[in-house]
């Protein structure tokens, strides 16, 4: 998420990181219709899907790298796949309005996409 011209939030990160992943996953677990099997399953596994607020506040967040450490499902893409499946490492996040380098004439990913051609290929995104 990018916030345009809002100096009141200049000390905030542009990226939500682990906490955002966990809070969105937790919120999603609460969306099911109470009493249904999917809702019951999600709520029964909430601590396997996200991290509790108490653990977040205390800074007890999982870190990747140790195959014996449990990673909540919400962060498996970041902490497991990216460290164990190298082809996934570079493809996780794309800020569509952040300008690229000289190799892409400082275009944004959105500009490259709109232009078609190489901007819509994995090679184009890698070049970015």
The per-residue pLDDT for range 116-126, each reduced to its tens digit, is 888 888 888 88
pLDDT of residue 2: 43
Q: Whole-model pTM?
A: 0.59
Which of 49, 15, 57, 54 is closest to 30 using CA atoms?
Answer: 49
| Full DSSP string of the chain | ----S-GGGTTS-SS-HHHHHHHHHHHHHT-SPTTSHHHHHHHHTHHHHS--HHHHHTT----SS-TTS---GGGHIIIIIHHH-GGGTTSS---TTS---GGGTT--HHHHHHH-GGGGSHHHHHH-
- With 80 as the cut, is the pLDDT of residue 89 above it? no
Average pLDDT of every residue of the chain: 81
Average pLDDT over residues 16-30: 85
CA distance 79 to 116: 32
Query: Rounded to whole angstroms, how far apart are CA atoms 118 and 120?
Result: 5
The residues near 111 (Cβ < 8 Å, ≥ 6 apart) are 119
Would you say residue 103 has pLDDT above 70? yes
Banded model confidence at residue 27, pLDDT cuts 50, 70, 90: very high
């Amino acid at each position: 998420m990018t916030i345009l011209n809002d100096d009141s939030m200049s000390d905030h990160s542009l990226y939500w990181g682990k906490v955002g992943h966990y809070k969105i996953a937790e919120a999603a677990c609460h969306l099911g219709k109470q009493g249904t099997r999917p809702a019951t399953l999600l709520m029964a596994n909430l601590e396997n899907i996200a991290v509790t607020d108490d653990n977040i506040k205390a800074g007890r967040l999982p870190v990747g790298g140790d195959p014996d450490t449990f990673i909540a499902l919400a962060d498996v893409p970041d902490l497991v796949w990216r460290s164990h499946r190298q082809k996934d490492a570079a493809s996780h996040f794309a800020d569509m309005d952040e300008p690229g380098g000289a190799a892409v004439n400082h275009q944004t990913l959105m500009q490259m996409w709109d232009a078609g051609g190489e901007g819509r290929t994995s090679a184009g995104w890698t070049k970015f």
